[in-house]
Structure 1
């Protein structure tokens, strides 16, 4: 009998000990609110000019660093805008898992209206004022109540609504330029750096076909603005990345297959890039290429005389004009002052993929930097306003 009781006691203690060990083996993570607030990392303009004509354009791209909640977890970011500093009626501008979000002119116009701003001279409402922005970081992707979160300080942007009745402002587009010793500019970020051609149907997609220097030490990156190293784009562990997301500079592209012609395509939204060889051997060589058309003079006289472009000494298939005044109208690119030699055009303004004998290119009044590539017919008209 005593032996049976002893066995029962031993079994009881074994079960208790097993449960205690099992409970100890269950590791529980507790997320904590970060001690430091999340903060914006991009620079802001002193003033943002807004108009209905540019409503669909991107006005600003907000960037921030990832906060540390103390555990590995997905984070959802919410970018809020407000007409007042207290965020009495905040407007959710973007929700994303990325460390950046772009807002459009239309979103700023909506906030400006809520702030009582307008550009109507018949009213006493101001046309200039401040709008307010913050970013919130929340644990997970379901936005559960009582989830740990951190909130940035409020950032103020000054906006001005352009008065109606004046000339329509030209749209503002993103650009990408080459820098690096595989390119014409070398490692100088303000040396007439060649631009990539922006897809007229998708402002996040760019392409370029041309000459690159090759070798183990010949490299290049992409910058968004000449004269500024940030933001810059390159390769990081084989992926196309930007310094604004990495928090540091990405690595360069390398031309490992030797000097020659290549086609580069990049997508800044989906972070995709490709670099493939291009056979230039059978391409035509031209003594001169000019821009011609009503848009060069504002009259039909523009169709009678080319404005010659400068041929690149680095790549003879690349042509440019550093500054030219254009008028409302149409233009084309023409080789050697002769329609029968070659001419290129397309139906998209500011950038496009021209074809031989293609349609006239629409032009709007303004001062531009113009680039043309006779290998592809691609062109860029970059506003200098």
Structure 2
């Protein structure tokens, strides 16, 4: 009897302990009433490309009602169509019913939504409310629209070589040669040229060691985005190029893969001179890289809206219909320059690939 009573008492105490320890709170959420976005008070918004940190638009809305006193998340969505087929989130906040977006934030959102620069087009905005860290129970506000005139939104990443197998050696800001972006696939880049006996890596920003790309095996790429451990070197996880010569390096940032193969450059002769010509500029002489005469560059050159071609001393006109980067051919047409800026320009006479990198966008 005493033994049974003791066990009973222990069980009751355990039940009481768990009951007291359970501090969870359950509440029921009704079907929410969505936020109500207040009218804007204007119809047209021309974005200033100079003072991009200035405020562009202030949005105000009435709180969504979930039937409980709880913090509500709000996401500000923009779209190029009223159906919000591919919305972009411009900003997010919790527990507030107003937000001010800068010129740069609206411009970036307009570009990401698919609006072209330097054209008046409608932009649609709404507020999407949710609850909790998992962003549950969405409710969409009413939709407003206004006409916007964006400036250019440069959405591409650019990449550069560094390492003792390349022209700049292990200097991260020494006229580092740019990789050539595929015109049809912005995640895919090429570099065909001379590599010395040694190793190399890929940098995303000249003058900075991170983000830094390399490999820890034979075919996949790894990155130190900053503050982590650096990956191994190309072409094969700290295994150096044993024979200097011409190689083709292809890197794909979507599939996280790369390839590094020998390239036969023996039948290709470089022109004696190469000039950038066209309506976007006065004639600009390009310089062959001392390390590899098949690579030509011109740094910090001003280009205005118009077009350019690469013209040799023999009168060959290399061009393409693709802006910023592409594969030029003799007689391939003029390369469109769609926005004024200072550019670094690279051209590879082994392949016809080119890249125009804006410095201030």
TM-score by length of 2: 0.59
Q: CA distance change for structure 1 residues 187 and 87 in 2, over 3 Å: closer, same or farther?
A: farther
What is the match of residue 368 of structure 1? 343
SS in 2 for 1:236: coil
Q: Is the 8 A contact 1:349 1:362 kept in 2?
A: yes
In the alignment, structure 1 residue 89 sits paired with structure 2 residue 70: no
In the alignment, structure 1 residue 352 sits paired with structure 2 residue 326: yes
**1:24-78 deviation per Cα after TM superposition (whole angstroms, max 9, x unaligned):** xxxxxxxxxxxxxxxxxxxxxxxxxxx999xxxxxxxxxxxxxxxxxxxxxxxxx
SS in 1 for 2:243: coil
**1:205-242 deviation per Cα after TM superposition (whole angstroms, max 9, x unaligned):** 1111000002xxx0000010011111111111332111
SS in 1 for 2:280: helix
Q: Is the 8 A contact 1:119 1:164 kept in 2?
A: no
Q: CA distance change for structure 1 residues 256 and 118 in 2, over 3 Å: closer, same or farther?
A: closer
SS in 2 for 1:222: strand
RMSD: 3.4
Unmatched 5+ stretches in structure 1:
1-50, 54-82, 94-105, 121-135, 139-162, 298-305
Q: CA distance change for structure 1 residues 347 and 227 in 2, over 3 Å: closer, same or farther?
A: same
Report 1:301-320 matches (<5 A).
306-320=283-297
The structure that is helix-richer by fraction is 1
Report 1:1-385 matches (<5 A).
88-89=72-73, 91=75, 107-109=88-90, 111=92, 115-117=98-100, 168-214=151-197, 218-238=198-218, 239-244=220-225, 247-254=228-235, 255-297=240-282, 306-336=283-313, 338-339=314-315, 342-363=316-337, 364-385=339-360
Q: Distance in 1 between matches of 2:167 and 2:262?
A: 18
TM-score by length of 1: 0.56
Q: Distance in 2 between matches of 1:107 and 1:246?
A: 29
Q: CA distance change for structure 1 residues 245 and 383 in 2, over 3 Å: closer, same or farther?
A: closer
More off after superposition, 184-193 vs 354-363 = 354-363
- The structure 1 segments of at least 4 consecutive aligned residues displaced by more than 4 Å after TM superposition are 90-93
What is the match of residue 142 of structure 1? none
Q: Distance in 2 between matches of 1:116 and 1:92?
A: 9
Q: Distance in 2 between matches of 1:383 and 1:359?
A: 21
Q: Distance in 1 between matches of 2:214 and 2:71?
A: 38
Q: CA distance change for structure 1 residues 252 and 52 in 2, over 3 Å: closer, same or farther?
A: farther
